[in-house]
Amino acid sequence: MKLRDWISVAAGATALMAVAAAMPAAADENKLEELKAQGFARIAIANEPPFTAVGADGKVSGAAPDVAREVFKRLGVADVAASISEYGAMIPGLQAGRHDAITAGLFMKPERCSAVAYSEPILCDAEAFALKKGNPLGLKSYKDIADNPDAKIGAPGGGTEEKLALEAGVPRDRVIVVPDGQSGLKMLQDGRIDVYSLPVLSIHSLLEKANDPTLEVVAPVEGAPVYCDGAAFRKGDEALRDAFDVELAKMKESGEFAKIIEPYGFSAKAAMSTSREKLCAAK
Ligand code: 6CS
Protein backbone atom coordinates (compact mmCIF):
# COMPACT_ATOMS: atom_id res chain seq x y z
CA MET A 1 0.00 0.00 0.00
CA LYS A 2 1.42 3.39 -1.05
CA LEU A 3 2.17 5.99 1.65
CA ARG A 4 -0.71 8.19 0.51
CA ASP A 5 -3.09 5.23 0.93
CA TRP A 6 -1.83 4.63 4.51
CA ILE A 7 -2.35 8.31 5.31
CA SER A 8 -5.97 8.30 4.06
CA VAL A 9 -6.72 5.06 6.01
CA ALA A 10 -5.19 6.56 9.18
CA ALA A 11 -7.18 9.76 8.72
CA GLY A 12 -10.39 7.74 8.34
CA ALA A 13 -9.65 5.70 11.48
CA THR A 14 -8.91 8.87 13.46
CA ALA A 15 -12.18 10.41 12.35
CA LEU A 16 -14.08 7.26 13.35
CA MET A 17 -12.42 7.25 16.79
CA ALA A 18 -13.31 10.92 17.27
CA VAL A 19 -16.97 10.21 16.50
CA ALA A 20 -17.02 7.21 18.85
CA ALA A 21 -15.40 9.20 21.67
CA ALA A 22 -17.99 11.96 21.32
CA MET A 23 -20.90 9.55 21.65
CA PRO A 24 -22.39 9.17 25.18
CA ALA A 25 -22.13 5.72 26.82
CA ALA A 26 -25.02 3.60 25.59
CA ALA A 27 -27.96 4.20 27.90
CA ASP A 28 -28.65 1.01 29.86
CA GLU A 29 -32.35 1.07 30.68
CA ASN A 30 -32.13 -2.51 32.01
CA LYS A 31 -29.43 -1.98 34.64
CA LEU A 32 -31.96 -2.11 37.49
CA GLU A 33 -33.40 -5.38 36.12
CA GLU A 34 -29.84 -6.76 35.94
CA LEU A 35 -29.23 -5.85 39.60
CA LYS A 36 -32.54 -7.37 40.71
CA ALA A 37 -31.59 -10.61 38.95
CA GLN A 38 -28.05 -10.40 40.39
CA GLY A 39 -29.56 -10.03 43.87
CA PHE A 40 -27.14 -7.33 44.97
CA ALA A 41 -25.51 -4.07 43.89
CA ARG A 42 -21.69 -3.98 43.89
CA ILE A 43 -20.71 -0.83 45.79
CA ALA A 44 -17.31 0.82 46.17
CA ILE A 45 -16.44 1.99 49.69
CA ALA A 46 -13.32 3.27 51.46
CA ASN A 47 -13.78 1.90 55.01
CA GLU A 48 -13.61 5.37 56.58
CA PRO A 49 -16.10 5.52 59.47
CA PRO A 50 -18.69 6.97 59.84
CA PHE A 51 -19.07 7.32 56.05
CA THR A 52 -18.27 3.66 55.39
CA ALA A 53 -17.08 0.80 57.60
CA VAL A 54 -16.26 -2.90 57.40
CA GLY A 55 -16.41 -4.79 60.70
CA ALA A 56 -14.03 -7.57 61.77
CA ASP A 57 -16.84 -9.94 60.79
CA GLY A 58 -16.91 -8.42 57.29
CA LYS A 59 -20.23 -6.67 57.89
CA VAL A 60 -20.53 -3.46 55.86
CA SER A 61 -21.97 -0.43 57.61
CA GLY A 62 -21.53 3.32 57.71
CA ALA A 63 -24.02 5.98 56.65
CA ALA A 64 -23.43 5.70 52.89
CA PRO A 65 -23.83 1.91 52.54
CA ASP A 66 -26.77 1.91 54.98
CA VAL A 67 -28.65 4.46 52.87
CA ALA A 68 -27.75 2.64 49.65
CA ARG A 69 -28.81 -0.76 51.06
CA GLU A 70 -32.24 0.66 52.03
CA VAL A 71 -32.77 2.42 48.70
CA PHE A 72 -31.76 -0.66 46.69
CA LYS A 73 -34.04 -2.84 48.84
CA ARG A 74 -36.94 -0.54 47.97
CA LEU A 75 -35.97 -0.91 44.31
CA GLY A 76 -36.11 -4.71 44.60
CA VAL A 77 -32.34 -5.28 44.87
CA ALA A 78 -31.94 -7.44 47.97
CA ASP A 79 -28.52 -6.31 49.23
CA VAL A 80 -25.21 -4.63 48.51
CA ALA A 81 -21.79 -6.25 48.13
CA ALA A 82 -18.93 -3.86 48.99
CA SER A 83 -15.34 -3.69 47.81
CA ILE A 84 -12.80 -1.36 49.41
CA SER A 85 -11.13 1.10 47.08
CA GLU A 86 -8.90 4.17 47.29
CA TYR A 87 -10.95 7.30 46.51
CA GLY A 88 -8.86 8.03 43.43
CA ALA A 89 -9.60 4.56 42.01
CA MET A 90 -13.37 4.58 42.59
CA ILE A 91 -14.46 6.38 39.43
CA PRO A 92 -12.13 4.40 37.11
CA GLY A 93 -13.43 1.22 38.79
CA LEU A 94 -17.04 2.29 38.21
CA GLN A 95 -16.32 3.17 34.59
CA ALA A 96 -14.58 -0.19 34.08
CA GLY A 97 -17.70 -1.99 35.34
CA ARG A 98 -16.12 -3.27 38.59
CA HIS A 99 -18.79 -1.47 40.66
CA ASP A 100 -22.48 -0.75 40.07
CA ALA A 101 -22.33 2.35 42.28
CA ILE A 102 -19.95 4.31 44.51
CA THR A 103 -21.48 4.85 47.95
CA ALA A 104 -18.49 6.10 49.93
CA GLY A 105 -18.82 9.79 50.72
CA LEU A 106 -17.27 10.66 47.34
CA PHE A 107 -17.90 14.41 47.47
CA MET A 108 -19.62 16.07 44.52
CA LYS A 109 -17.26 18.41 42.64
CA PRO A 110 -17.53 19.63 39.03
CA GLU A 111 -14.75 17.38 37.71
CA ARG A 112 -16.36 14.32 39.30
CA CYS A 113 -19.87 15.38 38.22
CA SER A 114 -18.66 15.30 34.61
CA ALA A 115 -17.37 11.74 35.04
CA VAL A 116 -20.27 10.02 36.84
CA ALA A 117 -24.05 10.32 37.33
CA TYR A 118 -24.53 11.44 40.94
CA SER A 119 -27.73 10.99 42.95
CA GLU A 120 -29.11 13.88 44.98
CA PRO A 121 -27.04 14.77 48.10
CA ILE A 122 -26.72 12.28 50.96
CA LEU A 123 -23.80 13.03 53.37
CA CYS A 124 -22.38 16.52 53.99
CA ASP A 125 -19.30 17.42 56.01
CA ALA A 126 -16.56 20.05 56.46
CA GLU A 127 -12.83 19.28 56.47
CA ALA A 128 -10.61 18.76 59.54
CA PHE A 129 -6.97 18.39 60.63
CA ALA A 130 -5.63 15.92 63.17
CA LEU A 131 -2.33 17.20 64.54
CA LYS A 132 -0.08 17.30 67.62
CA LYS A 133 -1.65 18.66 70.82
CA GLY A 134 -1.28 22.43 71.02
CA ASN A 135 -0.95 22.69 67.19
CA PRO A 136 2.76 23.62 67.43
CA LEU A 137 2.98 24.74 63.77
CA GLY A 138 -0.22 26.78 64.04
CA LEU A 139 -1.87 25.00 61.07
CA LYS A 140 -5.50 26.07 60.56
CA SER A 141 -5.78 26.06 56.77
CA TYR A 142 -4.26 24.31 53.75
CA LYS A 143 -2.51 27.63 52.98
CA ASP A 144 -0.83 27.55 56.42
CA ILE A 145 0.67 24.20 55.40
CA ALA A 146 1.80 25.62 52.06
CA ASP A 147 3.43 28.59 53.83
CA ASN A 148 5.44 26.41 56.22
CA PRO A 149 8.26 24.69 54.27
CA ASP A 150 8.67 22.08 57.00
CA ALA A 151 5.00 21.03 57.21
CA LYS A 152 3.92 17.70 55.67
CA ILE A 153 0.24 16.78 55.22
CA GLY A 154 -1.19 13.25 54.89
CA ALA A 155 -4.38 12.72 52.90
CA PRO A 156 -6.21 9.97 50.95
CA GLY A 157 -4.92 9.36 47.40
CA GLY A 158 -7.18 11.00 44.83
CA GLY A 159 -9.18 12.51 47.67
CA THR A 160 -10.53 15.99 48.25
CA GLU A 161 -8.02 16.89 50.99
CA GLU A 162 -5.07 15.99 48.75
CA LYS A 163 -6.50 18.24 46.02
CA LEU A 164 -7.19 21.11 48.46
CA ALA A 165 -3.61 20.96 49.74
CA LEU A 166 -2.11 20.97 46.22
CA GLU A 167 -4.45 23.78 45.13
CA ALA A 168 -3.39 25.81 48.22
CA GLY A 169 0.21 25.55 47.00
CA VAL A 170 1.59 22.69 49.11
CA PRO A 171 4.32 21.12 46.93
CA ARG A 172 3.70 17.53 45.82
CA ASP A 173 6.58 16.21 47.96
CA ARG A 174 4.92 17.58 51.10
CA VAL A 175 1.53 15.99 50.33
CA ILE A 176 1.82 12.37 51.49
CA VAL A 177 -0.75 9.82 50.22
CA VAL A 178 -2.19 7.89 53.16
CA PRO A 179 -4.05 4.61 52.39
CA ASP A 180 -6.30 4.50 55.45
CA GLY A 181 -7.08 6.04 58.83
CA GLN A 182 -4.87 3.76 60.92
CA SER A 183 -1.87 4.47 58.69
CA GLY A 184 -2.55 8.21 58.91
CA LEU A 185 -2.72 8.06 62.67
CA LYS A 186 0.56 6.11 62.90
CA MET A 187 2.34 8.51 60.53
CA LEU A 188 1.13 11.43 62.66
CA GLN A 189 2.22 9.76 65.91
CA ASP A 190 5.64 8.90 64.38
CA GLY A 191 6.11 12.47 63.15
CA ARG A 192 6.27 11.41 59.46
CA ILE A 193 3.46 13.89 58.81
CA ASP A 194 2.54 17.01 60.78
CA VAL A 195 -1.16 16.94 59.94
CA TYR A 196 -3.63 14.31 58.73
CA SER A 197 -6.66 15.68 56.88
CA LEU A 198 -10.06 14.01 56.45
CA PRO A 199 -13.65 15.22 56.80
CA VAL A 200 -14.61 16.33 60.32
CA LEU A 201 -16.66 13.26 61.27
CA SER A 202 -13.97 10.89 60.00
CA ILE A 203 -11.20 12.61 61.98
CA HIS A 204 -13.32 12.69 65.14
CA SER A 205 -14.21 8.99 64.74
CA LEU A 206 -10.52 8.11 64.28
CA LEU A 207 -9.27 10.11 67.28
CA GLU A 208 -12.07 8.95 69.57
CA LYS A 209 -10.99 5.35 68.92
CA ALA A 210 -7.27 6.20 69.19
CA ASN A 211 -7.77 7.91 72.54
CA ASP A 212 -4.32 9.51 72.17
CA PRO A 213 -3.88 12.60 74.42
CA THR A 214 -0.91 13.81 72.31
CA LEU A 215 -3.22 14.58 69.37
CA GLU A 216 -5.96 17.14 68.77
CA VAL A 217 -8.44 18.18 66.07
CA VAL A 218 -8.68 21.47 64.19
CA ALA A 219 -12.13 21.71 62.62
CA PRO A 220 -13.38 23.10 60.36
CA VAL A 221 -10.30 23.80 58.23
CA GLU A 222 -10.36 27.55 57.52
CA GLY A 223 -11.26 28.39 53.92
CA ALA A 224 -12.29 24.85 52.96
CA PRO A 225 -15.89 24.34 51.71
CA VAL A 226 -18.53 22.03 53.19
CA TYR A 227 -18.94 19.16 50.72
CA CYS A 228 -21.73 16.67 50.15
CA ASP A 229 -21.59 13.29 48.48
CA GLY A 230 -24.21 11.43 46.52
CA ALA A 231 -24.32 7.84 45.29
CA ALA A 232 -22.35 7.82 42.02
CA PHE A 233 -23.47 5.80 39.01
CA ARG A 234 -21.80 5.15 35.65
CA LYS A 235 -22.61 7.60 32.86
CA GLY A 236 -25.24 5.68 30.88
CA ASP A 237 -26.96 4.38 34.02
CA GLU A 238 -29.03 7.54 34.50
CA ALA A 239 -32.25 5.46 34.55
CA LEU A 240 -30.89 3.56 37.60
CA ARG A 241 -29.74 6.83 39.17
CA ASP A 242 -33.17 8.38 38.63
CA ALA A 243 -34.90 5.37 40.21
CA PHE A 244 -32.46 5.64 43.16
CA ASP A 245 -33.35 9.35 43.50
CA VAL A 246 -37.10 8.66 43.59
CA GLU A 247 -36.70 6.33 46.58
CA LEU A 248 -34.14 8.62 48.25
CA ALA A 249 -36.59 11.53 48.00
CA LYS A 250 -39.36 9.44 49.60
CA MET A 251 -37.01 8.51 52.47
CA LYS A 252 -36.05 12.16 52.95
CA GLU A 253 -39.74 13.09 53.04
CA SER A 254 -40.76 10.32 55.45
CA GLY A 255 -37.92 10.91 57.95
CA GLU A 256 -36.42 7.48 57.22
CA PHE A 257 -33.34 9.16 55.68
CA ALA A 258 -32.66 11.15 58.87
CA LYS A 259 -33.17 8.01 60.99
CA ILE A 260 -30.36 6.28 59.08
CA ILE A 261 -27.72 9.04 58.84
CA GLU A 262 -28.15 11.15 61.99
CA PRO A 263 -27.02 8.46 64.47
CA TYR A 264 -23.72 8.58 62.54
CA GLY A 265 -23.49 12.34 63.17
CA PHE A 266 -24.63 13.55 59.73
CA SER A 267 -27.31 16.21 59.22
CA ALA A 268 -30.32 15.30 57.06
CA LYS A 269 -31.14 19.02 56.89
CA ALA A 270 -27.73 19.80 55.37
CA ALA A 271 -28.27 17.27 52.58
CA MET A 272 -31.88 18.35 52.03
CA SER A 273 -30.96 22.06 51.84
CA THR A 274 -28.82 21.65 48.72
CA SER A 275 -28.93 19.80 45.42
CA ARG A 276 -26.81 17.94 42.88
CA GLU A 277 -27.26 20.88 40.53
CA LYS A 278 -25.85 23.37 43.06
CA LEU A 279 -23.00 21.11 44.20
CA CYS A 280 -21.90 20.17 40.69
CA ALA A 281 -21.82 23.84 39.72
CA ALA A 282 -19.91 24.96 42.86
CA LYS A 283 -16.46 26.45 42.22
O1 6CS B 1 -14.67 12.66 48.46
C2 6CS B 1 -13.52 12.67 48.87
O3 6CS B 1 -12.53 12.82 48.15
C4 6CS B 1 -13.33 12.55 50.41
N5 6CS B 1 -14.47 11.91 50.98
C6 6CS B 1 -14.38 11.30 52.15
C7 6CS B 1 -15.61 10.74 52.81
N8 6CS B 1 -13.24 11.12 52.79
C9 6CS B 1 -11.94 11.57 52.27
C10 6CS B 1 -12.06 11.84 50.77
O11 6CS B 1 -10.92 12.58 50.32
Domain boundaries defined on the chain: 24-124+228-281, 127-218
Q: Which residues of the chain have pLDDT under 70?
A: 1-27
Report, at the CATH architecture level, how domain 127-218 is classified.
3-Layer(aba) Sandwich (3.40)
Sign of CA dihedral 180, 186, 190, 193: positive
Q: Note if the bond before 149 is cis, omega within 30 degrees.
A: no
Residue 283 confidence (pLDDT): 73
Whether 127-218 and 24-124+228-281 are alike in CATH topology: the answer is: yes
Across the chain, mean pLDDT equals: 93
Residue 20 confidence (pLDDT): 47
Between the CA of 233 and the centroid of ligand 1 the distance, in Å, is 17
0.75 exceeded by the pTM?
yes
Q: How many CB atoms lie within 10 A of CB 17?
A: 10
Residue 109 confidence (pLDDT): 96
Residue 12 confidence (pLDDT): 59
Q: Name the phi and psi angles at 118, rounded to 5.
A: -80, 150
- DSSP string spanning 180-197? SHHHHHHHHHTTS-SEEE
The protein residue whose alpha carbon is closest to atom 10 in ligand 1 is: 159
Amino acid at 8: S
Between the CA of 147 and the centroid of ligand 1 the distance, in Å, is 24
| Pocket probe mutation, ligand 1, options 45, 87, 129, max atoms within 8 Å of Cβ | 87
Residue 88 confidence (pLDDT): 97
CATH class in words for 24-124+228-281: alpha beta
Q: What is the spatial distance between Cα 60 and Cα 44, in angstroms, rounded to a whole number?
A: 11
pLDDT in tens, 67-124: 999 999 999 999 999 999 999 999 999 999 999 999 999 999 999 999 999 999 999 9
